[in-house]
């Protein structure tokens, strides 16, 4: 076993991965201890929910209303608060929770290395690992109570079995991947959409020859995929059906986000008073109310909705400043007018992401024109489309591209390697 470990991980070509992992983890741990961090944004509610769960009070509306009503809630996805509650029940302190976030962010590095290796070989893998290790957004977000580090890790981990399988797909591989997507949905519902679209794309890939046995394999694959995708969510749906009167799969904030996505430019904003549903309604009833009002607005102005959707999609992928703003506020360093620290943190975060995303676009173009790589193209394009589709419909913002930055890094490294090869042959 020791010999295998040394041969596999300490090979000269893989030392770069170990070094990138060490540097990336060190940078993230420094962020945990360099400044005192307090919960901000949605993290305030995650922190409160985690406290209530850890204390045995469960997930109720008390964290939002402070009325001591005790009504069961599923407003935000329960996954991240449940993890925090588990850590707290084991005696893990505030620094330990942030250290967990740092680990989730750092563990993206070997996953990205694997994606890069499948795309373009060892050199691409090593470069991709260094890009994600030095990614400012990933480093800053690790010192936060936001869901992004955990979600990105589980989301990419769910993709790993499919990448490892290459074209030799088995039902076991698909089942494992979909179970992980189901678990990731506890943190953010986007994973459900990604799982559904990926399973459909894989079924079509298997069915491509049109032979009878391929049709049967495709149908079996789809059935197994959807069962495994929903299986992890069954306990939560059962809890919600018993306590809230409806089998809510993940959360009840979808209706509000759908309605907010029909206003202005579909970002974060306060709900207009004229569109707020009655506070006397239950969470499930409010969700239905908001869904109805959103659909009314969409049907009334379909072209405006389509244009807004395009804008929201571009906004989601075009820039990255939220990790900087979040860290500056969580550490108490956000000042107005902007100080030198504020300007540099925002500038570096946005500049680094601009480099990665621009190179990733070139890498995606290289991949799409490459012959005979249909399976790889499927695994790259479908997750991108899943995230884009969700934020075309719902609210948008730079936060939501976070789980795809590992893909961007792998594609950027692939593009850089291709340009390097072209320069050598020119």
Angle between helices 94-106 and 148-165 (to 10 degrees): 30
Note the pLDDT tens digit of each residue in 163-173. 988 667 888 99
User: What is the pLDDT averaged over residues 137-154?
Assistant: 95
Q: Do residues 327 and 277 make contact, with C-beta atoms less than 8 angstroms apart?
A: no
Asked whether the predicted pLDDT for residue 198 surpasses 90, the reply is yes
| SS3 (DSSP) at 143 | coil
Rounded distance between C-alpha atoms, residue 222 and residue 5, angstroms: 36
- Going from the C-alpha of 404 to that of each of 94, 190, 193, 210, the distances in angstroms are 28, 12, 14, 33
Bond from prior residue into 337 cis (ω within 30 degrees of 0): yes
pLDDT of residue 278: 85
N- to C-terminal Cα separation, the chain: 46
Rounded distance between C-alpha atoms, residue 237 and residue 244, angstroms: 10
Q: How many CB atoms lie within 10 A of CB 64?
A: 15
Lookup: tokens for 253: 């904030």
Q: Give the percent of the chain with pLDDT over 90.
A: 65
Q: How many CB atoms lie within 10 A of CB 166?
A: 12
Rounded distance between C-alpha atoms, residue 351 and residue 96, angstroms: 31
Asked whether the predicted pLDDT for residue 127 surpasses 70, the reply is yes
pTM of the model: 0.92
Query: Could you give the dihedral angle defined by the CA atoms of residues 77, 180, 117 and 364, in that order, rounded to the nearest 10 degrees?
Result: -50
Note the pLDDT tens digit of each residue in 293-312. 999 999 999 999 999 999 99
Note the pLDDT tens digit of each residue in 213-234. 667 778 888 999 999 999 999 9
pLDDT of residue 263: 85
Using the structure block, give the residue that is written with the tokens 């991709």: 128
Instruction: Give the model's confidence band at 251: pLDDT under 50 very low, under 70 low, under 90 confident, else very high.
Output: very high
pLDDT of residue 82: 95
Average pLDDT, the chain: 89
Asked whether the predicted pLDDT for residue 108 surpasses 90, the reply is yes
User: What is the pLDDT averaged over residues 260-273?
Assistant: 76
pLDDT of residue 1: 44
């Amino acid at each position: 076993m020791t010999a295998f470990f040394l041969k596999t991980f300490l090979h000269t070509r893989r030392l770069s991965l170990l070094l990138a992992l060490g540097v990336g983890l060190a940078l993230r741990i420094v962020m945990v201890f360099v400044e005192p961090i307090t919960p901000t944004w949605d993290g305030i509610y995650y922190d409160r929910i985690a406290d209530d769960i850890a204390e045995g009070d469960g997930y109720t509306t008390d964290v939002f209303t402070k009325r001591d009503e005790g009504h069961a809630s599923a407003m935000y996805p329960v996954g991240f608060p449940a993890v925090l509650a588990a850590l707290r029940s084991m005696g893990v302190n505030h620094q330990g929770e942030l250290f967990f976030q740092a680990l989730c962010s750092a563990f993206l590095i070997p996953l990205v290395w694997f994606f890069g290796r499948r795309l373009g070989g060892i050199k691409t893998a090593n470069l991709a690992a260094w890009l994600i290790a030095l990614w400012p957004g990933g480093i800053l977000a690790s010192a936060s109570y936001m869901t992004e580090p955990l979600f990105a890790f589980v989301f990419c981990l769910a993709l790993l079995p499919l990448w490892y399988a290459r074209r030799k797909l088995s039902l076991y591989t698909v089942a494992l991947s979909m179970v992980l997507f189901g678990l990731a949905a506890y943190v953010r519902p986007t994973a459900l959409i990604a799982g559904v679209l990926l399973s459909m794309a894989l079924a079509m890939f298997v069915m491509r020859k049109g032979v009878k046995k391929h049709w049967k394999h495709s149908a079996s694959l789809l059935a197994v995929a959807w069962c495994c995708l929903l299986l992890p969510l069954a306990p939560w749906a059962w809890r919600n059906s018993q306590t809230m009167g409806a089998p809510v799969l993940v959360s009840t904030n979808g209706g509000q986000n759908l309605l907010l996505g029909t206003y202005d430019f579909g970002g974060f904003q306060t709900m207009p008073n004229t569109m707020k549903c009655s506070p006397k309604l239950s969470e499930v009833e409010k969700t239905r109310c908001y869904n109805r009002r959103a659909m009314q607005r969409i049907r009334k102005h379909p072209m405006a909705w389509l244009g807004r959707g395009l804008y929201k999609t571009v906004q989601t992928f075009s820039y990255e400043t939220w990790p900087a703003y979040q860290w500056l506020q969580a550490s108490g360093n956000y000042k107005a007018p902007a100080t030198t620290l504020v300007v540099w943190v925002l500038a570096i975060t946005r500049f680094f992401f601009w480099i990665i995303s621009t190179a990733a676009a070139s890498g995606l173009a290289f991949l799409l024109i490459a012959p005979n790589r249909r399976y790889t193209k499927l695994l790259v394009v479908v997750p991108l489309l899943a995230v884009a589709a969700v934020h075309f419909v719902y609210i948008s913002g730079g936060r939501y591209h976070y789980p795809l930055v590992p893909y961007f890094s792998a594609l950027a490294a692939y593009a850089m390697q291709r340009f390097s090869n072209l320069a050598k042959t020119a």
